[in-house]
């Protein structure tokens, strides 16, 4: 694949020999947001062509584990570790999928994150629906197209989609769907709904 990176050796100077540079692709991004342990990393990993990478934007000493549903409930301090994946659409277009924690205190980071984003998938665990409120609030205020995706974990859902919609009180035009974060096709379909929303918005923006 053309974009598979091989680390070039350092050759004593700052320059690396590569006479025909590839043209940089246009990057686009989709945000995957939600509380801890709802399956953001799984979602990113399912669709990414590379193993999800992690970048750290802030961290506290108390958070060692990665998304761990068992500890998530009592977790008070946490890593702002963002998992992200890449999907090469073609040689000139690359899709980045950023998984990001949904805590309101991270909002400062989201401003950067959503700049230029196509849209967002808010991942919901029906056991802890309120974990996703900050993300929903944020995207609504920011005017970013988003979709609520209930991660079904083995097809189990404690509430049906209408009940989730009612609990979240999202606008009628915000899709609420269920998906299984473990399966690529399921994540793909959820992202396609996000892209539909993004397309609607882009077309509206263009026609005005």
Partner 1 sequence: MTYPDPDDPARPARPSVRPFLQSGPHTAGGYRPAPGNEPPVDEQTTTLRPFVITSGRTDGTDPEIGMETQVTVTHAAVPVRLSPEMRAIVALCGDPLSVAEISARLRLHLGVTRILVGDLRAAGQLDVHVLDNDSPDPETIMRVIRGLRAIT
Chain contacts with partner 1 (rule: CB under 8 A)? 3, 5, 7-10, 12-16, 18-19, 21-29, 53-61, 82, 84, 86-87, 89-90, 93-96, 98, 112-113, 115-116, 118, 184-185, 188, 191-192, 195-196, 198-199, 202-203, 205-206
- 95/181 with CB nearer partner 1: 95
Q: How far is the CB of 188 from partner 1 (least distance, A)?
A: 6
Segment (H or E) for 52 = none
Q: How far is the CB of 181 from partner 1 (least distance, A)?
A: 16
Q: How far is the CB of 3 from partner 1 (least distance, A)?
A: 7
In this structure, what are the phi and psi dihedrals at residue 29, rounded to the nearest 5 degrees?
-140, 150
Query: Contact 126/158 with Cβ under 8 angstroms?
Result: yes
Helix extents (H) in the chain: 40-47, 69-72, 107-114, 133-142, 161-168, 184-207
Q: How far is the CB of 60 from partner 1 (least distance, A)?
A: 6
What residue has token string 């108390």? 62
d(CA 27, CA 130): 32
- 77/156 with CB nearer partner 1: 77
Q: How far is the CB of 85 from partner 1 (least distance, A)?
A: 10
Q: In 3D, which of 110, 92, 90 has the Cα closest to residue 49?
A: 90
- 43/126 with CB nearer partner 1: 43
- 156/207 with CB nearer partner 1: 207
Residue 163 contacts by C-beta under 8 Å, 6 or more apart in sequence?
Answer: none
């Amino acid at each position: 694949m053309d974009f598979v990176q091989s680390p070039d050796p350092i050759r004593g100077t700052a320059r690396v020999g590569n006479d025909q540079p590839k043209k940089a692709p246009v990057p686009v991004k989709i945000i995957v947001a939600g509380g801890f342990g709802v399956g953001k990393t799984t979602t990113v990993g399912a669709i990414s062509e590379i193993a999800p990478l992690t970048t750290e934007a802030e961290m506290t000493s108390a958070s060692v584990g990665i998304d761990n549903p068992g500890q998530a409930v009592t977790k008070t301090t946490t890593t702002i570790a963002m998992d992200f994946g890449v999907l090469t659409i073609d040689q000139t277009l690359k899709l980045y999928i950023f998984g990001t924690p949904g805590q309101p205190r991270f909002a400062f980071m989201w401003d950067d994150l959503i700049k230029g984003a196509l849209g967002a998938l808010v991942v919901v665990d029906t056991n802890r629906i309120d974990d996703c409120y900050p993300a929903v609030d944020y995207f609504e205020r920011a005017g970013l197209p988003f979709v609520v995706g209930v991660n079904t974990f083995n097809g189990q859902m404690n509430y049906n989609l209408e009940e989730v919609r009612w609990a979240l009180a999202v606008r009628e035009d915000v899709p609420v769907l269920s998906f299984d974060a473990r399966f690529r096709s399921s994540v793909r379909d959820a992202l396609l709904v996000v892209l539909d929303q993004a397309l609607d918005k882009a077309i509206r923006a263009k026609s005005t």
